[in-house]
């Protein structure tokens, strides 16, 4: 009787498991002109190591693709920021990139496109809430981006990544614009007058800087502050005020304030003494707003005591 020949175990590529894709993910593939069937390592990208271990290590997990996808996403986001913010220095672009491409941001993206439902997890990882863990979700999105890059190239991967991160990018952009008075001024001036505002900042007095904001050759506003950055923000606020496009929060964000009678805010303002006279140079430094708030609190406290 002839001995039965041992069949060789098939390679990883033949042991890929079927994955269920969410409607959001399929729509995203369609928008990016990507066919899921054309992504050769799709199931590998969605296979966590815990699932692969339960299958006896006979199928690949997504750790290698995660390593590649991490670099691909960073390249795409860096190029996007480089083109969107042509005036930002390298350090500023890096700071923005860190806020947009971190574990928690990528986990939100993965959940938004339904990757949590498509993930293949081991029983132990699944029962411990693995589909909600930011590290696992971020890893899956990076691995999927790496798989798309290998099968479809950089152009389609860029479309996919930016479309998937659209909500995160919009959210960050709104937050940034709401906090940055200088950014709002630049956006308005560029849109209305097609020029970029610039700042001339110099020492004004001991411990104080003054910044003058120009739009072309025209002076738009000026501001004072203890640092150059503070002076520029206050100058930007004054420019927005002059142009009539300020918002209620701009004054707070720029740190502006006014003394009684409309006198300009001086950050070196010193708290008056009990007779209402300005304190000597060695007196306590406090902003007019803080001084008024303190007096208000004391008045309320006095009333309660009586």
- Listed residue (243, 267, 245) closest to 255, CA to CA: 267
What distance in Å separates the CA atoms of residue 223 and residue 214, rounded to the nearest whole number?
12
Active site residue 274: no
CA atoms within 13 A on the CB side of 153: 4
- Listed residue (60, 33, 66) closest to 44, CA to CA: 60
Q: Name the catalytic one among 44, 66, 70, 250.
A: 70
Residues of each domain in the chain carrying CATH 3.30.160.20:
180-285
- Listed residue (116, 122, 118) closest to 50, CA to CA: 122
- Listed residue (211, 193, 191) closest to 202, CA to CA: 211
Q: Name the catalytic one among 44, 66, 125, 142.
A: 142
Tens of pLDDT along the chain (306 residues) come to: 444 454 444 444 445 566 788 888 999 999 999 998 899 999 999 999 999 988 887 789 999 999 999 999 999 999 998 898 887 778 778 878 888 888 999 999 999 999 988 899 999 988 888 889 999 999 999 999 999 999 999 999 999 999 999 888 777 766 554 446 887 888 888 888 888 888 999 888 777 889 999 988 888 889 988 888 888 888 888 988 888 877 655 555 555 544 433 344 444 444 444 444 444 444 444 444 444 444 444 444 444 444
3-state secondary structure of 38: helix
pLDDT of residue 227: 85
- Listed residue (216, 223, 102, 95) closest to 165, CA to CA: 102
Residues of each domain in the chain carrying CATH 1.10.1520.10:
14-177
Active site residue 74: no
**Beta carbons within 8 Å of 220's beta carbon, 6+ residues apart:** 185, 189, 197, 213, 214, 238, 239, 242, 243
Q: Give me the CATH topology for the region 180-285.
A: Double Stranded RNA Binding Domain (3.30.160)
What distance in Å separates the CA atoms of residue 133 and residue 36, rounded to the nearest whole number?
25
**Beta carbons within 8 Å of 145's beta carbon, 6+ residues apart:** 69, 72, 73, 157, 160, 161
Residue 94 CA: distances (Å) to CA of 40, 156, 270:
33, 24, 39
Q: Is the pTM of this model over 0.85?
A: no
State the CB neighbour count (10 A cutoff) for residue 74.
13
As given in the structure block, the two tokens for residue 294 are 């303190």
What distance in Å separates the CA atoms of residue 269 and residue 278, rounded to the nearest whole number?
9
Class of domain 14-177: mainly alpha
């Amino acid at each position: 009787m002839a001995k039965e020949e041992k069949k060789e175990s098939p390679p990883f590529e033949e042991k890929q498991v079927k994955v269920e894709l969410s409607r959001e993910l399929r729509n995203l593939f369609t928008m990016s002109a990507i066919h899921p069937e054309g992504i050769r390592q799709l199931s590998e990208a969605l296979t966590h190591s815990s699932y692969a271990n339960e299958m006896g290590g006979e199928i690949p997990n997504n750790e290698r693709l995660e390593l590649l996808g991490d670099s691909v996403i960073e390249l795409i986001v860096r190029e996007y920021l480089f083109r969107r913010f042509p005036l930002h220095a390298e350090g500023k672009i890096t700071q923005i990139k860190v806020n947009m491409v971190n574990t928690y941001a990528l986990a939100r993206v993965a959940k938004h496109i339904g990757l949590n439902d498509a993930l293949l997890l081991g029983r132990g990882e699944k029962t411990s809430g693995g589909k909600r863990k930011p590290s696992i979700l971020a890893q899956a999105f990076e691995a999927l981006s790496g798989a798309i890059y290998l099968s479809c190239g950089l152009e389609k991967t860029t479309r996919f990544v930016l479309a998937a991160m659209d909500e995160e990018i919009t959210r960050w952009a709104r937050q940034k614009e709401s906090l940055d008075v200088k950014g709002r001024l630049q956006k308005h001036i560029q849109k209305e007058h097609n020029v970029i505002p610039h700042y001339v900042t110099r020492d004004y007095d001991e411990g104080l800087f003054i910044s003058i904001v120009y739009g072309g050759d025209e002076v738009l506003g000026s501001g004072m502050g203890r640092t150059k950055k503070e002076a520029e923000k206050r100058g930007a606020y004054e420019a927005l005020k002059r142009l009539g496009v300020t918002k209620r929060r701009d004054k707070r964000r720029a740190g502006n304030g006014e003394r009684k009678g409309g006198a300009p805010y001086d950050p070196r303002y010193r708290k008056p003494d009990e007779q209402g006279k300005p304190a000597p140079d060695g007196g306590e430094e406090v902003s007019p707003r803080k001084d008024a708030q303190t007096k208000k609190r004391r008045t309320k406290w006095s009333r309660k005591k009586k």
